[in-house]
Structure 1
Amino acid sequence: MEGRFLQEWIVEADIRKLQSAMESGAITAEELVQAYLERIRRYDAKVNAVLEINPDAIAIARELDQERAVKGRRGLLHGIPILLKDNIDTHDHMHTSAGSIALSGSIAKKDSFVASKLRQAGAVLLGKTNMTEWANYMSSTMLTGYSSRGGQVVNPYGTSEMFVGGSSSGSGAAVAANFCAAAIGTETSGSIISPASQNFAVGIKPTIGLISRSGIIPIAHSQDTAGPIARTVSDAAILLGALTGADEDDEVTLAGSLHALTDYTPYLDAEYLPHARIGIPRYYYRDLDEERLAILEEAIALLKSKGVTIIDPVSLPCEQTEWDWNVLRYEFKHDLNRYLANVADTVPVHSLKEVIAFNEQHAESALKYGQDILIASEQTSGTLTEEAYLASKQKNRDMAATNGIDYTLDAHQLDALLFLGFEWGSDLAARAGYPSLTVPAGYAKRGTWTKEYATKGPQGITLVGRAFSEPTLIKIAYGYEQATHHRFPPKLDGAER
């Protein structure tokens, strides 16, 4: 394939299509990488999703082409270009900064577990994506998708006044704009589900313990996880299987590996829907505007027409719970200090206290939106012994998990609960440490926009399940996707839809 035809061919191409073309000799991994780089060059000025390109990407692709010719492919990700969020360590010529200019010169001493697994699978690490600085744990007034190092990510479906989702904003926007085959995001609460939903993509936030967090700039170990963002459920499932495994540097994965799979593609089962039972938690729909509620009702009706048993409504005992953010506030200082203590001596900051001081010294470029959240976390002891922290952690476990998701799933023998996008459901799943999966469901043509969310543009439905229920969520999401095909690419050459 050559030139313009290849540029058009990669738009919406899934991993199996790309892999098949490389296997047949129609294209090479090197040509594929060059095609995505050209697309980034042509369009990313409008989106600002890609923070930096891996200068070794073409050479890596060339080596993988040679390996394919001699030994055959490693698997479905052999030669596939993947973008990583800028808080995921890569031991190469790329930087890892969490969007902060304080870390703009930081090159990791070794690969994160996630980057290592991708390399083992034969993926080409194409570059790093822009993100909300410090994973949106810096300032209460910061716009989602903004970082001092990278600037503002823009939703490729519209304008700066269409929510791009956070904090894996660049990963979601890059996938939507076809700047890569798929991307990796991270989530503490909504940061995979939100940008995937708002960019008409599929996002999987895995159960805590399924994917290692070692080598990822943290917020809170009780809730942090990496996960895939892709254009199809199939691609997200392929990527998920490549990321799992036990890691001695992240103890929670030692237990999680007992439930982990290396291949989730057998669960791409479009015939599963008649066996599924889904609960409708109406309490959490109460703030939805008319158009987004209509998208959700259409999804419910479609699932019912495909044979899904819909229990409507269901109630969660935790509905009236007043939540706090103490787990994040206390764990952030503790976890970030551990990470920063191991960065290179050439990096100017090695603790949260030093980050705050650096920002104050470079306020003009570093503090466009302030740093009140960083300051609040620094005021904690960092020992994780405070009563407020321990009580909040226990409350999340008791109310979001045991007396929330688990209780309701058990009471009605449900496979999953259904929410719209990242509204409520993703936060409950995050507090519980449970999986969630979002898949495109419709496009709201009217709506409002605020710093925190928008009611206009792409919308996804989100499935929330019990711990390690990723296979079941994939089956339901795949069946829904195959019955609807709501996703369409943004018109980067033309006007907003």
Structure 2
Amino acid sequence: MKNIITLLVIFILIGCKEQEKKEAIQYFKKYDETAEIDQQQSHENSRMKFKLLQSKFLNMNEVFEPFQKDLEQFSEEEYNRLKPLIIERSIPVIQQSIKEGNLSYEKLTLFYLYRIRKFESDSTKYLNAIISLNPNVIQEAKERDKAAKEKEVDISSVFGMPILLKDNINTTNMVTTAGALALKDNQTNDAFITKQLKTNKALILGKVNLSEWAYYFCSGCPLGYSAIGGQTLNPYGRKVFETGGSSAGSGVATAANYAVATIGTETAGSITSPSSQNSVVGLKPTIGLLSRSGIVPISSTLDTPGPMTKSVIDNYILLKALLGKDTSDEKSFELTEDEKQFKTQNLEGKKLGVFTALLNDSIYKKTIDEIKSAGATIVEISPEQTSLQGFLTLLNIDMKHDLPKYLNDKKVSEKTVKDLVVFNEQDSILRAPYGQQLFEGIVKDTTSADAFVKVKSNLKEAGLSYFKVFETEKLDAILSINNFHSAYSAVAEYPNLTIPMGYKETGEPISLTFIGLPKTEFKLLSLGMAFEKLTKERKLPKDYE
């Protein structure tokens, strides 16, 4: 009997120690956000009147579980030692530090994991930027270190660079949710661009939050909200400034230095908007330059992925790694070698269009004056406003057909937009707290095939007409603010490059957007490089230094 009691005591003690150990590693803890939500209701922006902040679905302790042992060996002292080598550093600078032996791909990966946990587990600083992490990423980083010892690495490459993907881009070992509970178990093969990153030996660090269904789901709802990930927050003003959407997590994670870079997607403004709001460099390429295969779609007509980075040079490096002709994407094309020329050039002699109506903005006006002083020829333009009637019809009919094609071979129960509407109605508080007005609109839209062809044709013509000043004035680019002209660029299928140009008196970021003709991404990046060197406006968010 005495032995039995002794054994019971031992088991109890062991159980207590195991429980203490479990409790000790619970970095992420839910808290009562009622007061915060109440305070948000007085926000002057109706889209900032949040109904919730924290995800009701994610358990970030489980997301970080594969890295517990490795992170136990990574101290705060080590984190602080590595900060100067990593924070706000470009890919070539980071690669050079690794080449010189001051850093490794494993340490770089651990640094980002530690940093994400550090901020995301803090109830006063979390940004809800992360949905999932690649459980194998540390081992993959070790393999990159081993390979780097055997063969010299190009410092202008993505080799070993931890990259975060928007969670509508397929990955083999992380589910692809588009932020929706209906896709919480959506296991997929890699998207074409994911394969390209892996071919170029980048590290897929994880997946980031987004506006659910790429913000073609609810009407007037908060940017950066998804049922899976909760409410993404802007590091330049948590609960004060919008994140931009739909690539909210991509913009926020880049701004906060949660990875070397991220990938976003855009239909109309979903890269330029969050890039602008989070003071990062975002490229929305010509539609078809980057493959859309394996990405949860809105519109096969307008969708495109694109790189989001802290600098123009990183954007160029990441774009190169994503390039490739995809035979399963009917719009996919390859650039000629001439079209891929990237030169660090001066602004002198360049002819740039400037919107007369935007010169009332003091930051835009100051920026244009600087560009003019650098030798560029500035041409004021006031394009005739052309109608974009039918834009929602285009998105409705494309998504009605494109989303079922994506879902067809997936192990999910819901296969159509109508199925998803019914699924969300079963628990609207959890699945669609802001409604699903746009999804309901898709179901109701009965536009015929012939009418749809005409809508697409009219919109393309409207976009081209709006930008005809390119030819009449022989412009190298047109300069806009943020995503102000994203809809016109979308229907014209023109590339946009957004670069930080300053901060408003409130501290909210504002960006200059270069609009170019199709297939001029590398020309835009060259112009962007010259502009970035001239102004150097990007600043790290104050509380995330």
TM score, norm. by length of structure 2: 0.82
* Alpha-carbon offset, residue 395 of structure 1: 1.4
Gaps of 5+ in 2: 1-76
The alignment status of 1:274 with 2:335, answered yes or no, reads no
Residue 414 of structure 2: aligned partner: 349
C-alpha distance after superposition, 1:223-254 (max 9, x if no partner) = 1000000000110111111111111110211x
Which structure 2 residues correspond to residues 458-477 of structure 1 after superposition, within 5 A?
458-477=509-528
- AA matched with 1:16: P
Residue 107 of structure 1: aligned partner: 187
C-alpha distance after superposition, 1:330-367 (max 9, x if no partner) = 101100010011212xx232222221121111222101
Q: 2:250 is paired with a residue of what secondary structure?
A: helix
* C-alpha distance in 2 between matches for 1:8 and 1:279: 39
The alignment status of 1:362 with 2:430, answered yes or no, reads no
Match of 1:210 among 282, 289, 302: 289
Does the CA-based 8 Å contact 1:7-1:39 persist in structure 2?
Answer: no
Match of 1:435 among 495, 512, 530: 495
* C-alpha distance in 1 between matches for 2:409 and 2:235: 36
C-alpha distance after superposition, 1:236-295 (max 9, x if no partner) = 111111111111110211xx214488x95x524132x11311111224x38xxx6xx111
Residue 129 of structure 2: aligned partner: 49
Residue 296 of structure 1: aligned partner: 364
Match of 1:249 among 317, 328, 334: 328
The alignment status of 1:306 with 2:374, answered yes or no, reads yes
Which structure 2 residues correspond to residues 167-206 of structure 1 after superposition, within 5 A?
167-206=246-285
Q: 1:252 is paired with a residue of what secondary structure?
A: coil
* C-alpha distance in 2 between matches for 1:318 and 1:2: 56
* Alpha-carbon offset, residue 304 of structure 1: 0.3
The alignment status of 1:5 with 2:81, answered yes or no, reads yes
* C-alpha distance in 1 between matches for 2:276 and 2:142: 34
Residue 50 of structure 2: aligned partner: none
Match of 2:402 among 335, 338, 354: 335
Does the CA-based 8 Å contact 2:209-2:250 persist in structure 1?
Answer: yes
The alignment status of 1:404 with 2:483, answered yes or no, reads no
Does the CA-based 8 Å contact 2:85-2:97 persist in structure 1?
Answer: no
Q: 1:492 is paired with a residue of what secondary structure?
A: helix
C-alpha distance after superposition, 1:177-218 (max 9, x if no partner) = 000000000000000000001101000000011000000000
* Alpha-carbon offset, residue 72 of structure 1: 3.4
Structure 1 residues 321 and 360, CA, compared in 2 at 3 Å: closer, same or farther? Answer: closer
Does the CA-based 8 Å contact 1:49-1:173 persist in structure 2?
Answer: yes
- AA matched with 1:304: K
C-alpha distance after superposition, 1:84-113 (max 9, x if no partner) = 000000112x110100011011111x1101
Does the CA-based 8 Å contact 2:256-2:544 persist in structure 1?
Answer: no
Greater RCO, CA 8 A, separation 6+: 1
The alignment status of 1:126 with 2:205, answered yes or no, reads yes
Q: 1:89 is paired with a residue of what secondary structure?
A: coil
* C-alpha distance in 2 between matches for 1:457 and 1:268: 31
* C-alpha distance in 2 between matches for 1:277 and 1:147: 42
Q: 2:132 is paired with a residue of what secondary structure?
A: strand
* Alpha-carbon offset, residue 368 of structure 1: 0.5
Match of 2:159 among 69, 78, 90: 78
Q: 1:280 is paired with a residue of what secondary structure?
A: strand
* Alpha-carbon offset, residue 440 of structure 1: 0.3
* Alpha-carbon offset, residue 24 of structure 1: 2.0
The alignment status of 1:481 with 2:544, answered yes or no, reads no
Residue 377 of structure 1: aligned partner: 442
Residue 175 of structure 2: aligned partner: 95
* C-alpha distance in 2 between matches for 1:349 and 1:71: 47
Larger Rg computed on CA atoms: 2
Alignment length, in residue pairs? 464
* C-alpha distance in 2 between matches for 1:5 and 1:340: 46
Gaps of 5+ in 1: 447-455
Residue 482 of structure 2: aligned partner: 421
Residue 33 of structure 1: aligned partner: 109
Does the CA-based 8 Å contact 2:386-2:462 persist in structure 1?
Answer: no
- AA matched with 2:289: L
* Alpha-carbon offset, residue 318 of structure 1: 4.0
* C-alpha distance in 1 between matches for 2:141 and 2:391: 46
- AA matched with 2:406: Y
Residue 163 of structure 1: aligned partner: 242
Does the CA-based 8 Å contact 2:391-2:459 persist in structure 1?
Answer: no
- AA matched with 2:157: L
